[in-house]
Every structure is written in structure tokens, then in C-alpha cells.
């Protein structure tokens, strides 16, 4: 990202870090996103089990639900989702536009749930109900974040390491938004198995640092156990929690600025729930001189720009 790199390096620190972007918003399925990599493994397992309906859960404007619904369509299965009303004080359009509109187009059936429930437990209860109705449900947890789904980002690690070598990049950090943990855990597990020194920094979109570190580490260990017998220490989990703001799905001023900055320097759109908070974290850390001049930084764009249409009241023209 040459224009962004110039912008971030044109500060008092006079650094010369090169910033790059991994465009996982362009994975192709239902406008793209990181969940597509996880679904490659999850849908394969569903097909192996002869499932005829996928059951999953997420927040109302869930990128995961949208991509899961599309994957189900592609493989001739139904999709039923539980949508958590996790984000307060939204307009009525919030439940009809953006990702929800695409859920409807893909023929997804869904139920809403209030905030604060154990959504995976709720979805498993729906699976039990569907079994009694003669269906063959396959449950995918929120974000596709389990040891099967995380393998999608183990695979991504080897793709990225090849690209780093081909482009002669000396990458020190991969920076990304971290939420349901599967993407960060898969990257950490893959890099650990590959014996790579590249570090992964997750910018939390919801949880405080200690909670997120523990959750990512738990899944990373379970994922790495499929790949290597080498223990994965918690010290390999890096989380920054200073960009959550008032809560999940609630954009901060930094979130809005991050979206505008990337759009107006590189012509790339972020989403207001995940990737923009991750990008805001990268910008903030860059301004603090966190990144070493000798190493390149790669931002993993996890997709989700469709959610922008559900945030029209944020004042984008300012």
C-alpha cells in the first residue's frame, strides 16, 4: 500500500515501514471475506456427514452468516441462522439491509435472539429440533471458529509465506481484527507449525485483552495439535484491546477515520464492525512507532464491507 505507507511514515518518527494488504475480502464467495477459507473445511465435513441443512449463528450483520448461507447454496443445502441482537441503538433498517439483505437473497431462514445468550448452545438446541423434524443438520459455530474451520487459516499461512518469498518481503507482523478467534488462531497455529518467526497481532473488536488471549490460545493449541507435537506457548498470542470503543459493532471515531483513510489512499473499503477496528489499531500503533523499520507489516483484510450499508447514519461525507 504505497500511498498509505507514505502517509503513515510521514510523521514525527520518520519511519520507513512498508505496509501491505492481504485481500481476503476478495475470496469470491458472496462478496468475499475470511470465513470462506474456514468454510472450505467446514462444508467438506458437512458433506461428509450427509447434512442437508447448515445451522449457524452470529450477530445481526454477520459476515459469517452471509458467507455460510452462500456456501450452503453452492452445495445444495439449506441454511438456518440465529442472529443475535448484539448491537444496541440501531435503526430499524439495521435488520433488513447490508448482510441481512444478502441472507434473504440466499434464501436463509433465521431467528433473532436477544443479546447475551450462549448463541452456540442456542444453535445446538435448534439442531436438536431439526433432527426431530427429520432433517440432517450440521452445526457451524459462530465465525466458523473451531479446530476444523481454523485449518482454513493454516492453509492461508503457507499461501502467504510463499507470497512473501516471491515478493521479497521481510514480514515481521500480520495485523488483523480478532473476534471469534478462528482466523488469528489458525494463523498462529500455521506459523507455529511452519516454524516461522512472523508474529500475528489481533486487534480486538469485542473482548478485553486477557479474555481474547486465552480464547485465541485455546483454539490455536487445538488447531496446532493436528499439525505438530511442538507445544504452542501463550506468549505467541498478541492482542491489542485499545480500539474496541463502546462495544462490538459500535464504530469509534478512529473506526470511521480508518475506513476513510484506506478508501481515500488505496481505494479499498473496510467494514465498520471488524476490519476497520483492526486497521485503526494498526494506524494507532504505527503512529506510536510500534513497528520495526526493518520489517514489513501485512494487514489481513477479513472483508465485510457490505455491512457499511447498515451504518449509513455515521456521517461519511465529513
Catalytic residue ranges: 62
What angle, rounded to 10 degrees, do the helices at 35-48 and 151-166 form?
140
Nearest 5°: CA angle at 262, between 261 and 266? 125
Whole-number Å distance between alpha carbons of 87 and 22: 28
Contact by Cβ (8 Å): 244, 278: no
Exposure class string for 257-281: b at 16+ Cβ within 10 A, else e: ebbebbeebbebbbbbbbbbbbbbb
Q: How many helices (H) and strands (E) does the chain have?
A: 10, 9
Whole-number Å distance between alpha carbons of 298 and 174: 5
Nearest 5°: CA angle at 100, between 99 and 103? 90
Read off the C-alpha cell for 227: 499439525
Largest CA distance in the chain: 65
Amino acid at each position: 500500500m504505497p500511498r498509505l505507507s507514505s502517509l503513515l511514515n510521514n510523521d514525527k518518527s520518520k519511519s520507513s515501514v512498508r505496509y501491505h494488504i492481504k485481500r481476503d475480502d476478495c475470496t469470491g464467495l458472496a462478496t468475499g471475506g475470511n470465513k470462506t477459507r474456514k468454510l472450505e473445511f467446514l462444508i467438506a465435513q458437512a458433506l461428509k456427514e450427509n447434512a442437508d441443512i447448515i445451522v449457524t449463528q452470529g450477530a445481526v450483520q454477520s459476515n459469517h452468516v452471509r458467507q455460510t448461507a452462500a456456501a450452503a447454496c453452492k452445495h445444495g443445502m439449506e441454511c438456518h441462522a440465529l442472529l443475535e441482537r448484539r448491537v444496541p441503538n440501531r435503526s430499524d433498517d439495521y435488520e433488513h439491509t447490508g448482510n441481512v439483505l444478502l441472507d434473504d437473497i440466499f434464501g436463509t431462514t433465521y431467528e433473532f435472539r436477544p443479546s447475551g445468550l450462549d448463541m452456540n448452545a442456542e444453535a445446538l438446541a435448534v439442531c436438536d429440533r431439526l433432527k426431530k423434524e427429520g432433517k440432517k443438520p450440521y452445526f457451524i459455530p459462530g465465525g466458523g471458529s473451531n479446530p476444523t474451520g481454523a485449518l482454513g487459516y493454516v492453509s492461508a499461512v503457507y499461501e502467504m509465506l510463499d507470497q512473501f518469498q516471491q515478493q521479497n518481503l521481510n514480514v515481521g507482523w500480520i495485523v488483523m481484527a480478532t473476534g471469534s478467534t478462528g482466523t488469528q488462531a489458525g494463523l498462529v497455529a500455521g506459523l507455529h507449525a511452519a516454524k516461522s518467526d512472523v508474529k500475528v497481532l489481533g486487534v480486538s473488536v469485542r473482548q478485553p485483552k486477557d479474555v481474547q488471549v486465552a480464547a485465541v490460545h485455546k483454539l490455536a493449541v487445538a488447531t496446532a495439535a493436528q499439525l505438530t507435537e511442538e507445544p504452542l506457548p501463550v506468549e505467541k498470542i498478541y492482542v491489542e484491546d485499545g480500539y474496541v470503543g463502546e462495544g462490538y459493532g459500535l464504530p469509534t471515531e478512529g473506526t470511521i477515520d480508518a475506513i476513510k483513510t484506506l478508501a481515500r489512499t488505496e481505494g479499498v473499503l473496510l467494514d465498520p464492525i471488524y476490519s476497520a477496528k483492526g486497521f485503526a489499531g494498526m494506524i494507532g500503533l504505527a503512529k506510536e512507532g510500534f513497528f520495526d523499520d526493518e520489517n514489513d507489516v501485512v494487514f489481513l483484510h477479513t472483508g465485510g464491507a457490505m455491512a457499511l450499508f447498515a451504518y449509513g447514519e455515521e456521517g461519511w461525507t465529513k
